[in-house]
Amino acid sequence: MTGLITMDDLTNEEILSILDDAERLLPVARGELYLPLLQGRIMGNLFFEPSTRTRMSFETAMKRLGGDVINLGDVKTSSVVKGETLFDTIQMVDGYTDIIAMRHPRQGAAQYAQDAARVPILNGGDGAGNHPTQTMLDLFTIRQAHGRLDGLKVVLAGDLRYGRTVHSLSHALTRFGCELIFASPTLLQMPAEIVSDLREHGATVTETEDLYGSIDDADVVYMTRIQKERFADEDEYARCAGAYKLHAKHLGDVKGNMIIMHPLPRVDEIHPSVDETRHARYFEQAFNGVVARMALLCRLLGVTVPADVNAQGGAL
Ligand code: NCD
């Protein structure tokens, strides 16, 4: 069965229908309703790289729907330290589970795992490659705020070179006809092959170093952390660390309904003064990871989310 490795695995219609499912699952994600759609199913969490939100929201999603989760746990205490290959680990976990969520430092690892597995793989981040489940919760958050995805003006800022969240998101936004502004230091520009691919798909893309001058007519400003762990050269990191520090004082002329997003964790690119503004959306965005992943788990496991969740669910 195919999983979700890049956003190319979903059509626009499928994306919208999964977002609709996610919306219906909100009371289940909040714990107001118990709906064990995934009872008897087991998900394997294989995180070969640090994760807080992605791993925990996958686990919450599975458990809120009555399913179970097994974890690889700390890589240091697993057979990986004995030299087990990714191929062997996947082949084995494949036999223990119905679906696998994985994160790996190597770009392309999720596709490699999918080739080795019988069960669907959900790519929770492969190096500087893709992060499609994050994109689903990002799209959910954008649609929740603006009521639509098409035709929005979106600024993607920070580490566009190594940031996998913005790689996946810019592809999806292009497919929905958004205008993209890439704001980054020169060293951290969006890879040229991604920019040309987006343009071939009809995207309107502007590249700039000037973040603060780009936000006034934006509908969404998507900030990212500089991905320190992906730099081969520490001096190079030092040269771009702290490049952008979005502060409440920069928001004087922005649109009233503009939202500021961040996949988190943040370092210093969004000052806490922004948290109190009407624009901050990053903590809701993190919560939305639960509903988006619930809907994805149901879809990939072939389970239909009922049209009337309230009629089917029970009290906790
Ligand atoms: C992101 C990631 O792992 O790519 N985090 C996340 O999944 N929410 C972003 C990051 O680590 O900067």
DSSP 140-173: HHHHHHHS--TT-EEEEES-TTT-HHHHHHHHHH
In the residue annotation, 186 being an active-site residue is answered as no
Q: Which residues make Cβ contacts (< 8 Å) with residue 39, sequence separation at least 6?
A: 65, 66, 67
Asked if 99 and 44 count as a contact pair (C-beta separation under 8 A), the reply is yes
Question: What type of residue is 152?
Answer: L
- CA 315 to ligand 1 center in whole angstroms: 34
276 SS3 class: coil
How many whole angstroms from 313 Cα to the centroid of ligand 1? 32
3-state secondary structure of 102: strand
- Give 125 Cα–ligand 1 centroid separation in angstroms: 8
Ligand 1 mean position to 216 CA, how many Å? 26
Q: Is 45 in the pocket of ligand 1 (CB under 6 A)?
A: no
Cis check for the bond before 272: say yes or no (omega within 30 of 0).
Answer: no
- The SS3 assignment for 282 reads helix
Active site residue 54: yes
Alpha helix stretches (DSSP H) within the chain: 12-24, 26-29, 53-64, 86-96, 109-116, 132-146, 164-175, 192-200, 234-240, 282-300, 309-312
Helix (H) and strand (E) counts for the chain?
11, 9
Catalytic one among 6, 54, 97, 133? 54
Nearest alpha-carbon partner for 251 in 215, 211, 276, 284: 215
Query: Could you give the 3-state DSSP secondary structure of residue 176?
Result: coil
pTM (predicted TM-score): 0.97
Among 11, 20, 27, which residue's Cα sits nearest to residue 140?
A: 20
Tell how far the Cα of 290 is from the centroid of ligand 1, in angstroms. Answer: 15
* CATH number attached to the domain at 7-131+286-312: 3.40.50.1370
- Is the separation of the CB atoms in 230 and 162 below 8 Å? yes
Cα–Cα distance for residue pair 277/16, rounded to 1 Å: 29
Spatial separation of the C-alpha atoms in residues 64 and 58, rounded to whole Å: 10
Contacts of 139 (CB under 8 A, 6+ apart): 15, 19, 149, 169, 172
129 lines ligand 1 (CB under 6 A): no
Q: Is 24 marked active-site?
A: no
- One digit per residue, the tens of pLDDT, for the chain of length 316 reads 589 999 999 999 999 999 999 999 999 999 999 999 999 999 999 999 989 999 999 999 999 999 999 998 777 777 777 888 999 999 999 999 999 999 999 999 999 999 999 999 999 999 999 999 999 999 999 999 999 999 999 999 999 999 999 999 999 999 999 999 999 999 999 999 999 999 999 999 999 999 999 999 999 999 999 999 999 999 999 999 999 999 999 999 999 999 999 999 999 999 999 999 999 999 999 999 999 999 999 999 999 999 999 888 888 7
7-131+286-312 and 133-285 have identical folds: yes
- Contact yes or no for 101/122 (Cβ under 8 A): yes
Residue 175 Cβ contacting ligand 1 at under 6 Å: no
Domain boundaries, the chain: 7-131+286-312, 133-285
Q: Would you say the CB of residue 158 lies under 6 angstroms from ligand 1?
A: no
CATH topology of domain 133-285: Rossmann fold (3.40.50)
Q: Which atom of ligand 1 is nearest to the CA of 289?
A: 8
The pair of three-digit structure tokens given for residue 221, joined into one six-digit string: 């400003």
- Count of alpha carbons within 13 Å of 245, Cβ hemisphere only? 9
- Can you give the pLDDT at residue 1? 59
Q: Which of these is catalytic: 53, 250, 279, 299?
A: 53
Q: What share of residues in the chain are helix, strand, coil (percent, to 5)?
A: 45, 15, 40
Active-site residue (options: 41, 55, 64, 103)? 103
- Ligand 1: atom nearest CA of 124 is 7
pLDDT score recorded for residue 296: 98
Is residue 131 in contact with ligand 1, taking CB distance under 6 Å?
A: yes
